[in-house]
Amino acid sequence: MKLGSVELLRLKMPLVSPFRTSFGVQTGRDVLVVVAHTTDGVTGYGECVALADPVYNEEYVDGAAQVLARYLVPAVLAEPDLTAAKVADLTEGIVGHRMAKAALELAVLDAQLRTVGMSLTDYFGGVRERVDVGVSVGITETVEQLVDVVGEYRAQGYRRVKLKIQPGFDIAPVAAVREAFGSDLALQVDGNTAYRAKDLALLTELDAFGLLLIEQPFEHDAHGLHAELAARCITPICLDESLTTAANTAAAIRAGACSIVNIKAGRMGGYLEARRTHDVATALDTPVWCGGMLETGLGRAANLALASLPGFTLPGDISASERYYAEDITEPFLLVDGQVAVPQGPGLGVTVREDVLREVLTSRETVSA
Ligand code: OSB
Ligand code: MG
């Protein structure tokens, strides 16, 4: 396979409701989509999950677009016998920029699989046609509002709820949600690196609420602190921001810094590294689940394929399309009985709705060989 050109699209996608985390509030996404055109006329899509600003990790969408146009896309355009498995090697000389690399690798993989008529789930070795999903609930103005929002999602059938927490919005909201919905509700929390060493004792108070896990309370390189909290808590510690490769995931597990792994392909430089991360975590008897970055239907389709692998034993942040967008750029994903179906068609298995795309498109840049 050879690419003739790659387009970089930018889309303005308003969220149905603002999403507040410890690092800020998102009211919409500035989405970068990589479109790979093969010389045989096949098209592949890859969504970049970088946020508008470098507040979740060091990447941001303008930077991702620039590194793609200037370095990453030219490196793969030059390859006469391109496969997705070669993208990491071809772009190895560029340090970091994992979300940008992941988007390019996914576009190449989609084109490769559409060429041979294979689905992403079959390529990965997926074992389920539907996956259990949860919902990530942002920080609200009041605890009453939070209980209302959780109640709505629960009524829709989500199999677990993740609450975003930050210092000053943690014990009381978790207690209120547990009180309102009882011990049946599968509940977990995500601190997005907002806590510091002085908060260790406070975080151990979360043990009172029977949570599935505590996600990334401390900074990304704070393995020692995560290990200390893990030793002092019954609740499992899960890492997100810290884990950027299969190798550092294995090291974090061995160091006792986490006993559950959040896998996000963007954060790990691509779906192939994400798959390897699943494999090493599973070999270390560590459950994994699929995180989310408020993806459109393109990234959501890929996440569902990934989550069809056997080690994904906890519900993912792969909610129905309507939880994020009034109109998605692909056919919408629906919540049925707390699950979402894994696409079975070639590649990502979804179709871009050109009419919706036209409405949200803000710019288009073409990089040619
Ligand atoms: O920490 O998991 C996170 C969204 C943006 C950045 C970081 C995170 C999130 C989410 C969203 O929690 C989950 C979803 O896509 O539903
Ligand atoms: Mg997280």
Shared domain for 68 and 203, answered yes or no, is no
Q: Which atom of ligand 1 is nearest to 26's Cα?
A: 5
- Beta-bridge partner residues of 190: 164, 215
| Cα–Cα distance, 178 to 262 (Å, whole number) | 23
Shared domain for 329 and 246, answered yes or no, is yes
Distance 86 CA to ligand 1 centre (A): 29
Distance 79 CA to ligand 1 centre (A): 34
CA distances from residue 170 to 178, 189, 191 in whole angstroms, order as listed: 12, 9, 9
pTM: 0.98
Shared domain for 45 and 61, answered yes or no, is yes
DSSP 343: P
Shared domain for 71 and 143, answered yes or no, is no
Shared domain for 272 and 151, answered yes or no, is yes
Residue 136 belongs to domain with CATH number: 3.20.20.120
pLDDT of residue 369: 84
pLDDT of residue 302: 98
Shared domain for 80 and 173, answered yes or no, is no
Residue 357 belongs to what domain range?
3-117+350-368
Shared domain for 80 and 188, answered yes or no, is no
Tokens of 334: 């629906």
Residue 28 belongs to domain with CATH number: 3.30.390.10
pLDDT in tens, 200-252: 999 999 999 999 999 999 999 999 999 999 999 999 999 999 999 999 999 99
DSSP 91: T
Residue nearest to ligand 1 atom 6, measured at CA: 293
Catalytic residue positions?
A: 164, 264
- The domain total for the chain is 2
Task: Give phi and psi for 257, each to the nearest 5.
Answer: -80, -20
Shared domain for 49 and 197, answered yes or no, is no
Shared domain for 160 and 183, answered yes or no, is yes
Shared domain for 253 and 328, answered yes or no, is yes
Task: Give phi and psi for 101, each to the nearest 5.
Answer: -65, -40
How many beta carbons lie within 10 A of that of residue 289, not counting itself? 28
For residue 335, pLDDT beyond 90 = yes
Average pLDDT of the residues in 10-31: 97
